[in-house]
Amino acid sequence: MKKGVLTELRKIEEEVKGCQKCRLYKERKNAVPGNGVYDTKIMLIGEAPGRNEDLEGLPFVGQAGKLLEQMLNNIGLSRNDIFITNVVKCRPPENRDPMTDEIEACKPYLFRQIELVDPKLIILVGKYSVSTVLGINLKISHLKGRVFIKEGRYIFCTYHPAFVLRNYSSYIDEYTYHFEKIKKIIEKIQ
């Protein structure tokens, strides 16, 4: 990775930590710019930080994060092999869905991260990551398991791990299958 790119990514982190572009900064403990390796072919984008993420300043560190790590481990990866971020960089109150103006405030950060990391595969987990990155406003149930190609990148849509946890017996087999499909995409891009 070029030095200038690394500098720009660190600059985004600092901007996110000091951001006051929407109401979410008022109640946050920590902004959550993202975590992982910058020099990677794989990026995972969630929706917004939850309570644990707000406390630690890192994405996917609660129970949903544990399930995500398990799914990554099942296909031979760890969170240290990818870059993980969210559409919205601060926790919405009571873990409510992010609002349109909050998404719009954070979009420039996200799109700059995508441009600078330059992944070959983006894994979108949840409705808001799909609608933000792909501009498709359908329920995730209509897009789950689908692969899109945009700007030379594979983009894979799947459930948010928190959703799978809430509906474990109904969705874990399908979620496992999604990650097997992700593994096949990774084999293509290596």
Residue whose tokens read 């070029």? 2
The domain limits of the chain are: 3-189
> Which backbone phi and psi does 151 adopt, to 5 degrees?
50, 40
Q: What pLDDT is stored for residue 1 in this prediction? A: 66
* Predicted confidence pLDDT, tens digits, the chain (190 residues): 677 888 999 999 999 999 999 999 999 999 999 999 999 999 999 999 999 999 999 999 999 999 999 999 999 999 999 999 999 999 999 989 999 999 999 999 999 999 999 999 999 999 999 999 999 988 899 999 999 999 999 999 999 999 999 999 999 999 999 999 999 999 999 8
- Residue-level pLDDT at 190: 83
The torsion of the CA quartet 109, 15, 35, 143, rounded to 10 degrees, works out to -20
Separation between Cα atoms, residue 179 and residue 138, nearest integer Å: 21
- C-alpha 2/C-alpha 96 separation (Å) is 38
Under DSSP, the state recorded for 28 is -
Query: In the 8-state DSSP scheme, what is residue 154?
Result: E
Fold type of domain 3-189: Uracil-DNA Glycosylase, subunit E (3.40.470)
CA distance 130 to 126: 7
Other CB atoms within 10 A of residue 11 CB: 12
User: According to the model, what pLDDT value does residue 94 have?
Assistant: 92
**pLDDT one-digit tens code per residue, 42-71:** 999 999 999 999 999 999 999 999 999 999
CA dist 5 and 116 (Å) reads 6
